[in-house]
């Protein structure tokens, strides 16, 4: 039971990592005017991405220095999530041994 729960948690974290990567790619495409933000669908999707990721970025941004126009908080969040995944996988292996 715990093994499956940890597996689902790892999967959710991996999905969230892909959401962060997608947001980063979209922000670059918007910065280079590849994607038009005048479309309501695009605007609503970007708004949804911001609402999902901003609560995770906010604590990281408080502690990071200002690097000008470059935001390193997604990279820090992804690295921390991979650390959590590693810890969860160790826990998952321990529960499998019992």
* Domain locations in the chain as residue ranges: 2-97
First to last CA, the chain: 12
Mean pLDDT of 7-30: 95
d(CA 91, CA 20): 25
Mean pLDDT of the chain: 92
21 — pLDDT class (breaks 50, 70, 90): very high
For the cut 90, the answer to whether the pLDDT of residue 68 exceeds it is no
Smallest Cα–Cα separation from 74: which of 93, 61, 91? Answer: 61
For the cut 80, the answer to whether the pLDDT of residue 97 exceeds it is no
For the cut 90, the answer to whether the pLDDT of residue 67 exceeds it is no
Question: Residue 66: in which H helix or E strand, if any?
Answer: none
Mean pLDDT of 31-56: 91
């Amino acid at each position: 039971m715990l093994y499956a729960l940890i597996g689902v948690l790892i999967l959710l974290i991996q999905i969230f990592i892909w959401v962060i990567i997608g947001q980063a790619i979209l922000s670059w495409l918007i910065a280079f005017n590849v994607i038009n933000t005048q479309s309501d669908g695009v605007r609503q999707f970007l708004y949804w991405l911001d609402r999902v990721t901003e609560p995770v970025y906010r604590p990281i941004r408080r502690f990071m220095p200002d690097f000008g126009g470059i935001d390193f908080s997604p990279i820090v969040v992804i690295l921390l999530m991979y650390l959590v995944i590693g810890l969860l996988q160790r826990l998952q292996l321990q529960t499998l041994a019992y």
